[in-house]
Structure 1
Amino acid sequence: MTKAAGKPGTQGLFVSFEGIDGSGKSTQARRLHEGLLAEGRQAVLTREPGGSPGAEEIRALVLQGDPDRWSAETELLLFTAARRDHLERLIRPALAEGKMVICDRFADSSRMYQGLSRGDLRDKVDALHQLMIGTEPDLTFLIDMDPAAGLARAKARATEEERFEDFGVALQERMRAGYLALAEEFPARFIVIDGNRPQDEVAAEIRARLEERCPA
């Protein structure tokens, strides 16, 4: 990583966005990407699960259907398989080309959804991550949102990918607490952003904090 990441001839910067369902992280990842492209900087927007053809196929398996379709252990294996393919086919090549990779969720989501909120699997999540992935973002924006408000926003989208939302607000409350604890665990990587504000205010703070780490 260099301060000029996102420009030709430099090592890329890996930026992830995390948060509970409905926190606005996908919107903010997209807005950051659009802003960087408008300035002529090299940036790639991607997501998890997904981001590569194989990983997108797995996405449909884990995000659709009945909430009890998979156990937390099976989910962990599926998400890791998708992440490995995503890493090989998109993330690593883009970083090697000096691009900034902006990812809507990464391994921290597994630490929360499978490692904390649906079972006591954090040790297994970290062990599998170290064995098969071995990569962490350079910077993670955690969009902190009131769980009830976030869930209402997520359900209002009315998409087919609502399997985790269907677990209810109790899951979102555990997730929020877990994410804030994760930010304390990795303070050098995490930046917590108050998502209970207008989108423009949130986007402006994200961009300002990014420029502190990666000046144009």
Structure 2
Amino acid sequence: MDCQEKLEVPVYTDVDRETFLRDIYPLVTRVLYIKHAWTVSYLAQRGGDREVKVHVSPEPRMDFLHKNFVYRTLPFDKFVQRAAETKHSDFFISEDESYYLRSLGEDVRKEPADLRKQFPELAEDFHTPQFFEPEQFFSSVFRISSPGLQLWTHYDIMDNLLAQVTGRKRVVLYSPKDALYLCLTGDKSEVLDIDTPDLQLYPEFVKASRYESILEPGDLLFIPGFLFLLNQTK
């Protein structure tokens, strides 16, 4: 039995800039994106052996507030191979640990992430629709995660476009008007299991309404600033 009201995410195809700004920009929605053949072997070969700092967690639900993960460094090609596995022969914590990469700028305190700078070989494959003016660009964050990994519910201040290049992802979105029901600490919700939450601990959580969708390869999700997002790799 669902504990929250579920709202439909509108889906658009063949979207140009005019349509996006007129019909989609005010909404939470999903539009068709160009597909890419990003396989494990292709990513490993193109990304090379540069070192990357990744989250490693023994739990499939990552918890930023209580830090149920550690940071470790791996060559990118080795990381991609591990992230595709369900059981590991080489591991840091346990053979079923999960991995998450969120790319960073060279100077993490001063420089935002930019796919074109951190992974130029892969950036050549990636073409973002020109929905916004170039000066409105802030960052492009490259993410890879293990199957089944869930990231905590949080919000960003800026508008985002989430492109699903390969694999599938479950996304759950909450309006800022439901913030009081999400049991927040800062910009993050304390509720990790949103499907079967502990309602004695979080009784207000049932009052929130959610938008939910599955992103397929080639989908692009528009996420307005301050909208709460939880995502889980399928």
- TM-score, normalised to structure 1, is 0.26
Q: Structure 1 or 2: larger strand share?
A: 2
Higher relative contact order (CA 8 A, sep 6+): 1
- TM-score, normalised to structure 2, is 0.25
Q: Structure 1 or 2: larger helix share?
A: 1
Greater CA radius of gyration, 1 or 2? Answer: 2
